[in-house]
Amino acid sequence: QVQLAESGGGVVQAGGSLRLSCAASGRTFSSYAMGWFRQAPGKEREFVAAISRGPGSPYYTYYADSVKGRFTISRDNAKMTVYLQMNSLKPEDTAVYFCAASSRSDVPVKMVGYDVWGQGTQVTVSS
């Protein structure tokens, strides 16, 4: 089973950008679909983006409507890392961001589809 560690969070002004990274260790990273979720204070954890597994492109990607066109998920299997590039950030994007790994053959967009979770990284967008 993989272990996951997120990094790249921080404080940014509205309209700015951040890139989150999720480094994996353990078993074969390429065999896992990967997802990003977020949880704002007082709210439930929600889906942000996901990317299919596989040895190489093309990868299939999925996004929540709230981030479509602003966020981009990508992966580098050689580095065992998945990224979330976040542009045009808004105050409502403020949350703890979690990456997750799924051993399923499809690409889950719900939490229940993921087997392994990272510890999260805080993203704060100031207005």
pLDDT tens-digit map of 73-94: 999 999 999 999 999 999 999 9
Three-state DSSP class for 60?
A: coil
Give pLDDT, residue 116: 96
Under 8 Å between Cβ of 103 and 35: no
Residue with tokens 């409502």: 92
Closest alpha carbon to 67 in 18, 6, 121, 118 = 18
Query: Percent of the chain having pLDDT more than 90?
Result: 92
- Mode of pairing for the β-strands spanning 10-13 and 121-126: parallel
Each residue's pLDDT tens digit, 19-30: 999 999 987 899
Closest alpha carbon to 75 in 20, 27, 119, 1 = 20
Sign of the CA dihedral 97, 101, 106, 108?
A: negative
Give pLDDT, residue 1: 83
Each residue's pLDDT tens digit, 44-66: 999 999 999 987 778 999 999 99
Give pLDDT, residue 27: 73
- Mode of pairing for the β-strands spanning 33-39 and 95-102: antiparallel
Give pLDDT, residue 54: 81
Give pLDDT, residue 21: 98
